[in-house]
Amino acid sequence: MDFEKDLLEELGTKPCLRPECILTDKVFDSCFQRECEPSKVVDLPCKGAFTDVNVVYGTGFIVDGTLNITPLETNYARVRFVFRVPFVVTAYDLEKKEPVTINDYVEFAKDIRVYLPQAPSEFSFRIVIETRTETLNTQIVGNQIILSIGVFVIVKVVGFVQLLVQSWGYCPAPRECTEFLPEDVCDDFDNRPVPPFFPPQQDDINGMV
């Protein structure tokens, strides 16, 4: 927000809008679904006592060779594919006193109907996805971690096009970068007032009552 505010101030209070042609990806259709894997089993490399399970998810992607597009009625198509969400599990081994890391993934099959308009043969569409994944539950059973995983997946039909948009022209020069300066623990100490060195006398205490 601060950058946008500074940008508007740099352009002036009454910036002049103008039409501009840009080349960009356009989303022709998009839809979302929820997927849930209630019991994904992740094998631990050794037996022992484990705790502090942490899961970090990567970006979901369509598995190579699984995408299949079949035309339906005019301007619509059936899209089938398998998408995969990779993740890294880390658990702490209480006996060895060190973390254990396992790479794994979950897969889901999609079979959906999308808007895919007729276009010249030289124009091509792409099917792309976005995912947001979360851990719903975690259990350690023996030498296995049982994960319940929920995934929001957005499927998009994308084409590379030329668009006419309103523009304020090129961006002005950006602000100067702020140098990172580590905090000095002595700075606060240097600015403190001198504390009393000796305990208060009785007369001082009586005078305060």
pLDDT in tens, 129-145: 999 999 999 998 888 89
Q: What is the 3-state secondary structure (H, E, C) of 120-181?
A: CCCCCEEEEEEEEEEEEEEEEECCEEEEEEEEEEEEEEEEEEEEEEEECCCCCCCCCCCCCC
Tell whether 46 is covered by a domain. yes
Burial 176-193 (b: 16+ CB within 10 A, else e): eeeeeeeeeeeeeeeeee
In a domain, 190, yes or no: no
Within a domain: 72 = yes
Average confidence (pLDDT) over 38-50: 85
Position 24 scores a pLDDT of 94
Higher-pLDDT residue of 106 and 94 is: 106
> What mean pLDDT is predicted for residues 151-178?
88
Q: pLDDT tens, 68-89?
A: 999 998 999 999 999 999 999 9
CB 93 within 8 Å of CB 4: no
Half-sphere exposure of 79 (CA within 13 A, CB side): 22
Confidence band of 93 (pLDDT split at 50, 70, 90): confident
pLDDT mean over 142-159: 93
* 192 found inside a domain: no
Residues 6+ apart with CB under 8 A from 179: none
**% of the chain at pLDDT higher than 70:** 90
User: Is residue 180, in this structure, part of any structural domain at all?
Assistant: no
Q: Whole-angstrom Cα distance, residue 155 to residue 134?
A: 18
Residue whose C-alpha is closest to residue 119's, from 81, 160, 154, 165: 160
In a domain, 12, yes or no: no
195 assigned to some structural domain: no
Q: Look at the chain and report how many structural domains it folds into.
A: 1
Which residues span the domain enclosing 147?
17-168
Q: Is residue 188 part of a domain?
A: no
Closest CA relative to residue 58, chosen from 129, 109, 127, 131: 131
